[in-house]
Structure 1
């Protein structure tokens, strides 16, 4: 996006938000814009990415038993249920594909309920904007890293905090960075927010 178009989008957003009594600083608007950009990338990957059209992502997180008989039992259950799982997976993908235009266009709209962060910190930005997007852990961590650059002008990484608290987390495959990983992300985000302190609005 060019500087002129970015400035124009910011001014348009400020006018719309001003009518609602919402005041966002430029850096806060940039953070919201960054989150929406990541959301668009996720939506495109979900709708058009072929890696999970036929192979269910849930199977990547399956923990195989160390016992050979149990492992054979797991394999048998998967073999029997796989046609149903794949069919359900395809239906879900088709539904996302049909909903893609509407969901994608929504990321260019200013949602109702958007409010300025109550606290001028990294955690405050998350609390204000998080309900307007849904990112997988990898994309969310990249998004937060860009927030830090936009708010503080610093090259700090949320991933570093997660690795510090949970050695070996960086070796986990991307699909495994799910529910349990989110708790590490939340703790690391709060810790990093405390260290960074308040940003200049």
Structure 2
């Protein structure tokens, strides 16, 4: 009985390779960043009065053995997992099927389980997908950053500018912006 599973087009395969390339970059940058110890409460030091800062420095000094041990263990784990993470991005599954929807949303759904990117990296990746799937002209007109900025402006108008910390909600806004971008571009 012949299989009627649709095959990936060359553009879809290129998009998946771009996603793997961006994931490799993300793993490399995280690996390099793991070598730099991060001081706990670093954002609170400059915002506090002197006596509170001195108390924070004292607490940091007391907790430094625990903090440095945790950092070292995290560094060891990252070092042990790094070769596996990088190698895994070079292999594209033969059972990978093309996206159900032939648009940006479908491409996201086809690759989302493999991606662990920062917001900046993900925006770059979606813009590259637009270029590959829809062409250079569409990339100049429809950028992910434009739709994300538009989404954030709409949210500020709804909440009357009282958005204090947008970071926890940025993934929701990215999803909404990606959906609007996908609707604007249509199917490829």
Is the structural similarity TM-score above 0.5? yes
Q: Deviations over 1:138-186 (max 9, x none)?
A: 111111110010111122321122222225xxxxxxxx98543212111
- The yes-or-no answer on 1:197 pairing with 2:183 is no
Q: Is the 8 A contact 2:12 2:133 kept in 1?
A: yes
Q: Deviations over 1:83-114 (max 9, x none)?
A: 42333123212211222222211111123652
Q: Is the 8 A contact 2:40 2:60 kept in 1?
A: no
Partner of 2:150: 164
Structure 2 residues without counterparts, runs of 5 or longer:
154-164
CA distance in 1, matches of 2:66, 2:88: 32
Partner of 1:40: 24
Partner of 1:188: 177
CA distance in 2, matches of 1:79, 1:113: 53
Distance 1:33 1:95, change over 3 A: same
CA distance in 1, matches of 2:147, 2:57: 38
Distance 1:124 1:20, change over 3 A: same
Partner of 1:29: 13
Q: Output the aligned Cα RMSD.
A: 3.1
User: TM-score, normalization: structure 1?
Assistant: 0.70
Distance 1:20 1:108, change over 3 A: farther
Q: Is the 8 A contact 2:151 2:176 kept in 1?
A: no
Q: Is the 8 A contact 2:144 2:178 kept in 1?
A: yes
- How many correspondences in the alignment? 170
Distance 1:92 1:194, change over 3 A: same
The correspondence for 1:103, drawn from 81, 85, 92, is 85
Distance 1:183 1:66, change over 3 A: same
User: TM-score, normalization: structure 2?
Assistant: 0.75
CA distance in 2, matches of 1:109, 1:148: 23
Q: Is the 8 A contact 1:158 1:192 kept in 2?
A: yes
Q: After TM superposition, list the pairs within 5 Å mapping 1:104-183 onto structure 2.
A: 104-111=86-93, 114-153=96-135, 154-155=138-139, 156-167=142-153, 179-183=168-172
